[in-house]
């Protein structure tokens, strides 16, 4: 608005300069100098506005227009020129061009314009430059001033209304953009980008709320935690993009097979959490079994893994951390119980119950009696470990069996490598490297348990799931054909 007012004022003052020059440059030289100075000041207003110095620009604008009008009428033309009518228009300028919280600035300038009006109204000029002009010329100047005042007032009010409407529309558009930005920030803060499910942060917050609701109203509340079996193999063999698609399929299955009141989220990696308000342990177990079967059905049609599921019901006065700890333990139980199973924790005093015992698979026979005997021995010890409770003296017994298992693993790795070297197995170097990595990781976990830094169950799961069953099934079976061919030779 300031720029437009400055441009209009600049054109008006220049117009008066040319009028004065036409009437007689020598006679009206003082008026020409006053209006020219005002026009130059308006150029400075535009420059100040461009440099974002809006308040000085707006104040200078009002003085650049009001003062030339006041001085010309007061000094040279008198009220017959009608210039004082334009001062009425100038009273509007401060209110629409000066944007500041210092209300007294526009109010003071408006009062100044009112004072200018009354100082000039019916007051003769100090130096009358119009004495030689015909009456019709003065009458024309007065009519022109009144017309300019009316047109200027209508234009100013109309433009101000337009600017206000445009400002409201612009503000509404910015509000929409801001609202959408806030929604996007909220989504990013609470939603997993890959699957579109709740993220861990949101799940924890909702879990706390559901527990508070269950505690307040005496409601049942349960949870399901599951992960994808051998998900690492998908990434290793088919790439991370295919792994992402598997995660998306798992999230879609989970969303499709739970109630609308249930909350599904991605806990992290390939782990998912389902919160089931107003659901007891039996209901949650049925839901977990339905999810497990649904994943198996999808696996028959497209690339998908099975899942292992842990189920627990919240106990009165139990914290979310304790509840989640039982859920996590139930999931581990399902993992070391053979995968593709559902295990549940009934209360805090019992450990999750595995639903199966890992039996020897005939496909794991290598053809070498000693290797097969060692493999069976490793599996027997691992099964014995996971069948023990992890509390009291039985935990110590389990740790003792773990030491025995690690010793047996070392001996097995050494013997297996010697046999593979003898038959010139093509993948001997990679196999030997995997042996070292697995053994070092198991020893690190064993040490962290003894130092109290990790749960005992984490070591048991790693040894059973990765070293014993996983390594036999995924890696050792790869050399069986070359081993048998080498023995024939």
Q: pLDDT category, 352, cuts 50, 70, 90?
A: very low
pLDDT for 415 equals: 92
Count of H-run helices and E-run strands, the chain:
17, 5
Give the tens place of pLDDT for each residue, 383-405.
777 666 444 445 677 678 778 88
158 SS3 class: helix
Whether residue 275 contacts residue 206, with contact meaning beta carbons closer than 8 Å, is answered with yes
Please tell me which residue, 270 or 156, carries the higher pLDDT value. 270
User: Is the model's pLDDT at 325 over the cut of 50?
Assistant: yes
User: Is the model's pLDDT at 188 over the cut of 80?
Assistant: no
> In Å, what is the CA distance from 467 to each residue of 10, 49, 354, 448, 473?
88, 74, 19, 18, 10
> In Å, what is the CA distance from 326 to each residue of 254, 346, 385?
21, 9, 20
309 SS3 class: strand
* Dihedral, 445, 450, 453, 455 alpha carbons, nearest 10: 70
pLDDT for 222 equals: 94
Whether residue 36 contacts residue 68, with contact meaning beta carbons closer than 8 Å, is answered with no
**Helix ranges (DSSP H) in 272-362:** 281-299, 320-336
Residue 438 CA, chain-centre distance (Å), reads 38
pLDDT for 189 equals: 77
Q: pLDDT category, 261, cuts 50, 70, 90?
A: confident
What percentage of the chain's residues is helix, strand, coil (to nearest 5)?
70, 5, 20
pLDDT for 489 equals: 57
- Tell me which residue has tokens 């924790």: 345
Q: How many CA atoms lie within 13 A of 65 on its CB side?
A: 29
Q: What is the CA radius of gyration of the chain?
A: 44
DSSP state of 359: P
Question: What's the rounded Cα separation, in Å, for the pair 406 and 141?
Answer: 110
340 SS3 class: coil
Kindly tell me the burial class for residue 118, based on how many C-beta atoms sit within 10 Å of its own C-beta (0-12, 13-18, 19 or more): exposed
Please tell me which residue, 381 or 267, carries the higher pLDDT value. 267
Q: pLDDT category, 358, cuts 50, 70, 90?
A: low
pLDDT for 350 equals: 42
Q: pLDDT category, 273, cuts 50, 70, 90?
A: very high
pLDDT for 1 equals: 64
Domains of the chain: 2-174 (no CATH), 191-356 (3.30.70.270), 360-489 (1.20.120.50)
User: Is the model's pLDDT at 277 over the cut of 70?
Assistant: yes
Backbone φ and ψ for 310, nearest 5 degrees, come out as -115, 135
Instruction: Out of 41-45, 77-81, 102-106, 450-454, pick the least confident.
Output: 450-454
**Helix ranges (DSSP H) in 25-134:** 29-50, 54-72, 83-97, 104-120
313 SS3 class: strand
Cross-strand pairs, 264: 274
pLDDT for 271 equals: 93
> In Å, what is the CA distance from 121 to each residue of 111, 315, 455?
15, 89, 95
pLDDT for 391 equals: 40
What mean pLDDT is reported for the chain? Answer: 80
381 SS3 class: helix
Per-range mean pLDDT, top range of 75-89, 149-163, 236-250, 448-462? 236-250
Find, among 176, 202, 203, 177, the residue nearest to 188 by Cα.
202
User: Is the model's pLDDT at 154 over the cut of 80?
Assistant: no
Whether residue 175 contacts residue 247, with contact meaning beta carbons closer than 8 Å, is answered with no
Question: What's the rounded Cα separation, in Å, for the pair 468 and 460?
Answer: 10
25 SS3 class: coil
Question: What's the rounded Cα separation, in Å, for the pair 258 and 309?
Answer: 14
Whether residue 425 contacts residue 477, with contact meaning beta carbons closer than 8 Å, is answered with no
User: Is the model's pLDDT at 314 over the cut of 90?
Assistant: yes
Question: What's the rounded Cα separation, in Å, for the pair 33 and 31?
Answer: 5
Is the pTM for the entire model greater than 0.85?
no
11 SS3 class: helix
Question: What's the rounded Cα separation, in Å, for the pair 313 and 345?
Answer: 8
């Amino acid at each position: 608005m300031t720029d437009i007012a400055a441009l209009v004022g600049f054109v008006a003052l220049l117009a008066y300069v040319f009028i004065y020059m036409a009437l007689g440059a020598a006679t009206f030289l003082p008026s020409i100098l006053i209006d020219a100075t005002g026009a130059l000041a308006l150029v400075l207003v535009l420059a100040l506005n461009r440099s974002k110095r809006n308040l000085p620009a707006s104040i200078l604008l009002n003085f650049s227009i009001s003062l030339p009008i006041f001085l010309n009428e007061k000094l040279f033309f008198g009220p017959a020129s009608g210039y004082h009518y334009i001062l009425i228009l100038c009273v509007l300028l401060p209110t629409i061009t000066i944007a500041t919280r210092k209300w007294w600035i526009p109010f003071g300038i408006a009062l100044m314009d009112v004072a200018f009006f009354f100082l000039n109204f019916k007051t003769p000029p100090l130096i009358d430059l119009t004495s030689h002009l015909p009456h019709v010329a003065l009458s024309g100047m007065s009519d022109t001033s009144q017309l300019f005042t009316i047109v200027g007032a209508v234009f100013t009010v109309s433009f101000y209304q337009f600017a206000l409407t445009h400002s409201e529309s612009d503000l509404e558009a910015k509000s929409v953009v801001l609202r959408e930005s806030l929604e996007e920030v909220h989504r990013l803060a609470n939603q997993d980008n890959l699957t579109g499910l709740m993220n861990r942060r949101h799940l924890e917050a909702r879990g706390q709320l559901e527990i508070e609701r269950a505690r307040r109203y005496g409601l049942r509340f349960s949870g399901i935690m599951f992960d994808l079996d051998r998900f690492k193999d998908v990434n290793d063999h088919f790439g991370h993009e295919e792994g992402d698609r598997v995660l998306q399929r798992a999230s879609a299955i989970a969303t499709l097979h739970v109630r609308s009141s249930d909350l599904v989220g991605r806990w992290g990696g390939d782990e998912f959490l389902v919160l089931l308000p107003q659901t007891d342990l039996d209901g949650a177990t049925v839901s977990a079994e339905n999810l497990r079967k649904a994943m198996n059905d999808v696996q028959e049609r497209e690339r998908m893994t099975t899942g292992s599921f842990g189920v627990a019901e919240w106990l009165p006065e139990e914290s979310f951390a304790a509840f989640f700890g039982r859920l996590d333990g139930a999931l581990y139980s399902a993992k070391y119980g053979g995968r593709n199973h559902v295990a549940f924790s009934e209360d805090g005093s019992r450990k999750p119950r595995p639903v199966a015992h890992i039996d020897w698979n005939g496909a794991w026979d290598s053809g070498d009696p000693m290797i097969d005997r060692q493999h069976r021995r490793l599996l027997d010890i691992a099964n014995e470990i996971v069948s023990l409770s992890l509390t009291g003296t039985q935990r110590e017994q389990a740790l003792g069996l773990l030491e025995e298992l690690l010793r047996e693993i070392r001996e097995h790795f050494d013997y297996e490598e010697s046999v593979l070297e003898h038959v010139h197995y093509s993948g001997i170097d990679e196999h030997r490297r995997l042996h070292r990595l697995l053994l070092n990781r198991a020893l690190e976990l064993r040490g962290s348990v003894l130092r109290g830094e990790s749960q005992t169950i984490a070591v048991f799961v790693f040894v059973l799931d990765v070293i014993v069953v996983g390594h036999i099934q995924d890696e050792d079976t790869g050399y069986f054909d070359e081993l048998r061919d080498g023995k024939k030779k």
